[in-house]
Amino acid sequence: MLGVVMLLAMVFDISERLGDFIQKEAPLKAIFFDYYLNFVIYFGNLFSPLIVFISVIWFTAKLAQNTEIIPMINSGRNFLRLIRPYMIGATILMLISLVMNHFVLPESNRVRLQFEEDYYRNVRRVSNYYAQFPDNKTVYFDSYRSDLQRVLGLVVEQRDDNNRLISIIKAREARNIDSTFNWEIQDYFIRFIGSPHDSIVVGKPRETMDTVFPFQLNEMAQRHTVVQTMGFYEIQDFIEYEKEKGNPNIAFFEIEFYQRTSFPFATYVLTLIGMVLASRKTRGGVGVNLAIGIALAVLYIFAMKVTTVASVNVGFPTYLAVWLPNIIFAAIGLYIYRFTPK
């Protein structure tokens, strides 16, 4: 089931991106080993609970249609005894997915996303950036484009422990040198505030000055997907650091972190629903059960999207947004189990 789904996903992805690969002359080896190998690992693991769900429905429905479940129950076996091997299998798959999400996928994603950055993604743009860095530094800039590697309208404010402004640096253009803390600013205005050392330094037109800031450009102009390349401990430190900066995209980062655990645990929920749903013999055969299963899978994805969008846009708690679909569908599974003929 996983192989069929991933094969179809690769075909659709190739048809969409082939023009970009040809235009940017992506090496064939990099396409298959750097991109599509890691593409299959990422999406296969991401959708594994849903694929397990469809597989459980198909397998159990075949047992039911062949009248194999009724003799098991008539022989005196408890219905929970029939569920036990399903849950053992779900546990094995859940543990594999959990380890993959937290410790294996980050490195795989790093290779895949770097390939996308080199051969597929459009120019990265950031507008109206604002952040608070350690040592009471506040940073603004108007715009940034990755192809130009220059920040326009940079403003850096320094405040003391009492939140009083003690210096301000403005530059029409600024460039971060080789992803270090060294910066080159152009058309600058610098003011040091506070008697008796209040002073102003103004650069001449087109004049540049080298300086050092406690931040790098790649910290400020990064895609949300950067968290997919971070391991278990790294992503937690990153979220704490971004909270201190006042990054408005914290919800995206926390959702990514919590989903690494909630998605594997969805295997239990969907396995339970799939088993009890397909254990009854129906006139429509396996197709009816599969149709119901696919409809439930679509509802699960829809519920996940609704809760995550609510978290990003209206401040719904991220951990609850990620776990709520599992809670709702676990309740649905227990409800179906209660009324399943035993």
Distance CA 313, CA 126 (A): 19
Q: Is the pLDDT of residue 197 over 80?
A: no
Please, which pLDDT band fits residue 11 given cuts at 50, 70 and 90?
Answer: very high
Predicted pLDDT of residue 41: 92
Those residues whose C-beta lies under 8 Å from the C-beta of residue 170, and which sit 6 or more positions away, are 154, 155, 188, 189, 190
Q: Say if residues 328 and 303 touch (Cβ distance below 8 Å).
A: yes
Predicted pLDDT of residue 301: 84
CA distances from 284 to 290, 299, 328 (A): 10, 22, 28
Name residue, tokens 């937290």. 102
Residue 281: exposure state from Cβ atoms within 10 A (0-12, 13-18, ≥19): middle
Distance CA 135, CA 133 (A): 7
Those residues whose C-beta lies under 8 Å from the C-beta of residue 163, and which sit 6 or more positions away, are 136
For residue 142, the SS3 value is strand
User: Residue ranges of the alpha helices (H) in the chain?
Assistant: 2-23, 28-29, 37-46, 48-65, 69-74, 79-99, 105-119, 217-220, 232-245, 250-278, 286-314, 318-338
| Cis amide bond preceding 134, omega within 30 | no
Predicted pLDDT of residue 284: 65
Predicted pLDDT of residue 110: 94
pLDDT digits (tens, 9 = 90+) for 74-86: 888 888 889 999 9
More confident residue, 257 or 315: 257
- The mean pLDDT value for 9-17 works out to 91
Number of residues in the chain: 342
User: Residue ranges of the alpha helices (H) in 75-229?
Assistant: 79-99, 105-119, 217-220
pLDDT digits (tens, 9 = 90+) for 93-130: 999 999 999 999 999 999 999 998 888 877 778 888 88
Q: Is the pLDDT of residue 289 over 80?
A: no
| Its pTM surpasses 0.85 | no
- Sign of the CA dihedral running 275, 279, 280, 283: positive
Taking only Cα atoms into account, the Rg of the chain, rounded to an integer number of angstroms, comes to 27
Instruction: Count how many Cα atoms sit within 13 Å of the Cα of residue 201 in the half-sphere of its side chain.
Output: 14
Distance CA 292, CA 218 (A): 46
Give the H or E element holding residue 33. Answer: none
Predicted pLDDT of residue 342: 65
Q: Say if residues 174 and 140 touch (Cβ distance below 8 Å).
A: no
